Structure 1
């Protein structure tokens, strides 16, 4: 039985964002292939209570779950300085942190805990999510003969390009340096696969978002909403939601029923008529079934937009901007209509809601596109190839 050490910085069973959806389905793949997973993460306020850890353990997706602390408990300031802070400063100097790059989150305390796990057990694969933590394996002899894999999730230099003091050349070089340490680099989109492979060649593997298609629903479900908009509150979504409600929403008929789901709702006014705000739902599928069209008004960001893929799987046409098409292997015949200006964006919404033939065409396109590119069958084939599994 192959053993995997898998680091992911969030709680995958919370399913609050696209990255957690990806992690959850990777864990399901490892289980389906009979692999044994030890899961490590970092402590995040509110995410790892005894109850959530127990729910994760009961899922059977990991044999061991370790929640690591970014820093040790401070306690006595003098003792903290001489037993940790001073050594952490020296550790960061050894890492040679690059000025102007995006953050490096591999603190000395995290590295010590990571190394302690490797001393207890050798692994066939070590998978790290995000280049923030790539230096877990930097100059690390405890890795042994494990195949090391970085699951990039995003081009982080692009994500941080608006940070104060950001240097794009330094950041891109640092990102490539971090990724080059690994035997494999998993990219979630064709665009990032192309970019990384220009420098890292055959190390780069295209591992798309993988999802389970929703079960067919025999009964007719009442369509309570014309539009559904699902989003977290990262900076890209904040800008996109503000643009939609300021520029597009006023152009729509007053009776257009919109359902907004996710923590983005904290940033949407409660005063908009016919707009329902739902911060969290246990069953997102049920709301997709109650909606007619999905929205993705992204203005910035990289990687595949998970909510677009989810909408496709449910046969919902997607009205999006050009950034909403990022991560899709083909930009046409995919169930989406895209536009960047508010007038055309609003017109696309009204076209799809009023034109039954167009609606059905986009619905069929989206479902077929999902099956071809993002289904379990398609994704597992790519993962099998990357991990050297013959089936």
Structure 2
């Protein structure tokens, strides 16, 4: 067994199993939906990459028995979940649906037992992981976020903590606040720590994480078909309801957008995602679309994407997404953390409002040039953000563990 990464195979080719098929148990409190926000897309992309390379992936979905947010009978969306087997403790599988019979008789959650999404793991979750491991011969347990590390440790299987970001640095507005010492202690109970950017990896080491820390970027999505029609004078911001997204958008609308409109009255801004809920009244030429089923049409007609974040950690997946669509990006320094090598390759850095507006206007005023810069950004990013490069550390860890 070697650590070489096998070539991606077609669906028919995957039917022929290799001599040793890696088995991965993904442990999470939420399903890793492809369209479930940046973090969900990141986890889903990694799991689909593993499946495409012949790994068997099981998803252990941890939900409290009295969690009334899930209906008694629910279905797993097919988008992005192909090839992933879902294990939901206490549920009965009926075809492609999962049945929780007790929820027909008790629909109100018990606050004393409810597990908040970001709170430390509880004994019941550790039992669920132990039972899953006893039934499957796994090469690795991949946990979704640091708080599940104690539940996943001590089962005789190599554990990898998918961190997404530095939680103690983003405590403001979080459901559960972790100190740096608490975060380090949780991560040290895993065998390997997966940081989404070099910046996060450095922070983990600074706070006392002694286990191996690997940088695991979010990979580029497959390039969409090229379209010969030029984009219009529109810019695009995509964001969840996460606090820094709302703060960054508010700064852009107050400080940057008036400058843009003064110079180019025909400019428009499209805003997609739950972040729209933070805007009480949309300024002139600002269009709030909320959650949308397909971002492709918005990226297609945009000349430039913006990432006006003022705080936050982790790799900004919205920036990677924009580059995947061959769009130039204007971002603050915070938005570029961990991916600074793209600066000057179709990606502009601007922290002052006037500088940010100047760069946005340059792209809006010359869509043809913006298109060329978007291609440049995509080509540069492909050097280190292809799936086989970005996710290689996980395969290498499993190959070592399986020996």
2:47 pairs, out of 22, 27, 44, with 27
Partner of residue 335, structure 2: 324
Q: How does 1:180-219 map to 2 (within 5 A)?
A: 180-197=188-205, 199-200=208-209, 203-217=212-226, 219=227
Change beyond 3 A, Cα 1:237–1:125: same
8 Å contact from structure 2 (residues 233, 266) kept in 1: no
Match of 2:78 in 1: 55
Cα distance in 2 for residues equivalent to 1:37 and 1:265: 35
1:295–1:387 Cα change, 3 Å: same
The offset of 1:210, in angstroms, is 1.4
- Say whether the 8 Å CA contact 2:303–2:371 is kept in structure 1: no
**Structure 2 counterpart SS, 1:333:** coil
Q: Is the 8 A contact 1:156 1:175 kept in 2?
A: yes
Q: Distance in 2 between matches of 1:116 and 1:164?
A: 28
- 1:387 has 2:382 as partner: no
TM-score (structure 2 length as normaliser): 0.78
Contact residue 18 and residue 307 of structure 1 kept, 8 A: yes
Task: Check 1:127–1:266 CA distance in 2 against 1; reply closer, same or farther (3 A cut).
Answer: same
> Does residue 1:119 correspond to 2:134, yes or no?
yes
Tell me the residue number matched to 2:237: 229
Change (3 A) 1:45 1:67: farther
Q: Which structure has more helix as a fraction of its residues?
A: 1
Distance 1:342 1:282, change over 3 A: same
Report the equivalent of 2:270: 259
- Report the CA distance shift for 1:54/1:67 in structure 2 as closer, same or farther (over 3 A): farther
Aligned: 1:109 with 2:131: no
Distance change >3 Å, CA 164–CA 11, structure 1 → 2:
closer
Give the CA deviation at 1:200.
4.0
Write out aligned runs for 1:240-255 (5 A).
Answer: 240-253=248-261, 254-255=265-266
Structure 2 gap ranges (5+): 1-20, 92-101
Answer whether contact 2:236 2:305 (CA < 8 A) is retained.
yes
8 Å contact from structure 1 (residues 153, 188) kept in 2: yes
Higher relative contact order (CA 8 A, sep 6+): 2
Unaligned runs of 5+ in 1: 89-101
Q: Report the count of equivalent residues.
A: 359
Correspondence 1:133 to 2:148: yes
How far apart are the structure 1 equivalents of 2:283 and 2:62? Answer: 38
Answer with 353-362 or 317-326: which moved more: 353-362
Q: CA RMSD in A?
A: 3.4
- Secondary structure at 1:13's aligned position in 2? coil
Aligned-partner Cα distance in 1 for 2:72–2:49: 25
Greater shift in the superposed pair: 34-43 or 227-236? 34-43
Q: Separation in 1 of the partners of 2:278 and 2:57?
A: 38
Contact 1:189 / 1:329 at 8 angstroms: preserved in 2? no
* 1:1-391 equivalences in 2 (<5 Å): 1-13=21-33, 15-43=35-63, 50=73, 52-53=75-76, 55=78, 59-66=81-88, 104-138=119-153, 140=154, 143-144=155-156, 146-160=157-171, 171-197=179-205, 199-200=208-209, 203-217=212-226, 219-221=227-229, 223-224=231-232, 226-253=234-261, 254-328=265-339, 330=341, 332-355=343-366, 359=370, 362-388=373-399
Cα distance in 2 for residues equivalent to 1:67 and 1:235: 32
